[in-house]
Amino acid sequence: MAAETIFSKIIRREAPADIVYQDDLVTAFRDIHPQAPVHILIVPNKAIPTVNDVQPADEAALGRLFSVAGKLAHEMGIAEDGYRLLVNCNRHGGQVVYHLHMHLLGGRPLGPMLLRP
Ligand code: 5GP
């Protein structure tokens, strides 16, 4: 079984977070250090550490990340202007919390996709 992170505690509501959506497969909550006016983390309720650990059985939950991202983007008023969905994996990807999650970022122009070296 995957080692637990703070995200599992947030999903079980044992740790504080501003949860904006939750269902049987995913939970969405505001990032504690927002990088944009809208910065929400959408996470599978199951603790999958990284994209490298995804199994076919996880496809329903991972598909739900996208449908919830679109729904929240509409609710937050950023759908028309646009936004960015981001999933980091391991060290080179800049992953810090080892519970797979999608960042929903928007509310301002986000600039180029990657920092120039
Ligand atoms: P990563 O770099 O792993 O893709 O992103 C992890 C994100 O989780 C970061 O943007 C960080 O600010 C956020 N984060 C880390 N710990 C917490 C927490 O306890 N609560 C919330 N709401 N966000 C967190």
Q: Quick one: pLDDT band at residue 117, thresholds 50, 70, 90?
A: confident
Q: Would 40 be classed as within a structural domain?
A: yes
Does ligand 1 have an atom closer than 6 angstroms to the CB of 97? yes
The DSSP annotation for 48-113 comes to: --SGGG--GGGHHHHHHHHHHHHHHHHHTT-TTT-EEEE---HHHHT--SSS--EEEEESS----S
Q: Would 117 be classed as within a structural domain?
A: no
Q: Would 111 be classed as within a structural domain?
A: no
Q: What is the per-residue pLDDT across 14-38, written as a single tens digit (0 to 9) for each?
A: 999 999 999 999 999 999 999 999 9
Q: Would 112 be classed as within a structural domain?
A: no
Give the CATH number, domain containing residue 84.
Answer: 3.30.428.10
Which atom belonging to ligand 1 lies closest to the Cα atom of 30? 22
pTM comes to 0.97
Which atom belonging to ligand 1 lies closest to the Cα atom of 35? 10
The CA 72 to ligand 1 mean position distance, Å, reads 18
Does ligand 1 have an atom closer than 6 angstroms to the CB of 5? no
**How far is the C-alpha of 11 from the C-alpha of 19, rounded, in Å?**
9
Q: Which residues are catalytic?
A: 101
Q: Would 116 be classed as within a structural domain?
A: no
Q: Would 94 be classed as within a structural domain?
A: yes
> Residue of the nearest CA to atom 18 in ligand 1?
32
Number of domains in the chain: 1
When pLDDT is averaged across residues 92-99 and rounded to a whole number, the result is 97
**How far is the C-alpha of 113 from the C-alpha of 85, rounded, in Å?**
11
- Per the structure, the complete domain to which residue 101 belongs is given by 6-106
